[in-house]
Amino acid sequence: MNSHSKQLPAPLVAPRRTSPLHPTWQRRFKGLALPLLIVVLLEIIVRIGWLPSYQMPAPSEIALTLTDLAEGALWKHIGASLIRVLLGFAIGASLALVFAAWVGLSREAEAYLEPTFAALRAIPSLAWVPLLLLWLGIDETSKIVLIAIGAFFPVYVNVVAAIRNIDRKLVEVGHIYGFSRLQLVRRILLPAALPGLFTGLRSGMSLAWMFLVAAELIAATKGLGYLLSDGRETSRPDIVLAAIIVLALLGKLSDGVLAVLERRWLKWRDTFTGQGAQD
**CATH class for the region spanning 59-265:** mainly alpha
pLDDT per residue as tens digits for the range 182-219: 888 888 888 888 999 999 999 999 999 999 998 888 77
**Residues above pLDDT 70, as percent of the chain:** 87
On average, the pLDDT of the chain sits at 86
Asked if the model's pLDDT at residue 8 lies above 80, the reply is no
All structural domains of the chain with their residue ranges: 59-265
pLDDT per residue as tens digits for the range 130-188: 898 889 888 889 999 999 999 999 999 999 999 999 888 888 888 888 888 888 888 88
Amino acid 149: pLDDT: 95
| Residue from 79, 49, 10, 54 nearest 237 by CA | 54
pLDDT per residue as tens digits for the range 69-102: 999 889 999 999 999 999 999 999 999 999 999 9
Q: What is the DSSP letter of 32?
A: H
DSSP string, 79-129: HHHHHHHHHHHHHHHHHHHHHHHHHHH-HHHHHHHHHHHHHHHTS-HHHHH
CA–CA gap between residue 87 and residue 247 (Å, rounded): 17
User: In Å, how far are 87, 170, 263 from 152, measured between CA atoms?
Assistant: 12, 28, 23
Q: At what angle do helices 74-105 and 107-121 cross, to 10 degrees?
A: 140
Q: pTM here?
A: 0.84
Exposure of 196 by Cβ count < 10 A (0-12 exposed, 13-18 middle, 19+ buried)? buried
Query: Backbone dihedral region of 276: left (phi > 0), alpha (psi from -120 to 50 degrees) or beta?
Result: left
| Contact (Cβ atoms closer than 8 angstroms) between residue 132 and residue 142 | yes
Amino acid 157: pLDDT: 96
CA–CA gap between residue 70 and residue 62 (Å, rounded): 12
Amino acid 216: pLDDT: 87
CA–CA gap between residue 107 and residue 33 (Å, rounded): 48
Amino acid 9: pLDDT: 56
Asked if the model's pLDDT at residue 23 lies above 70, the reply is no
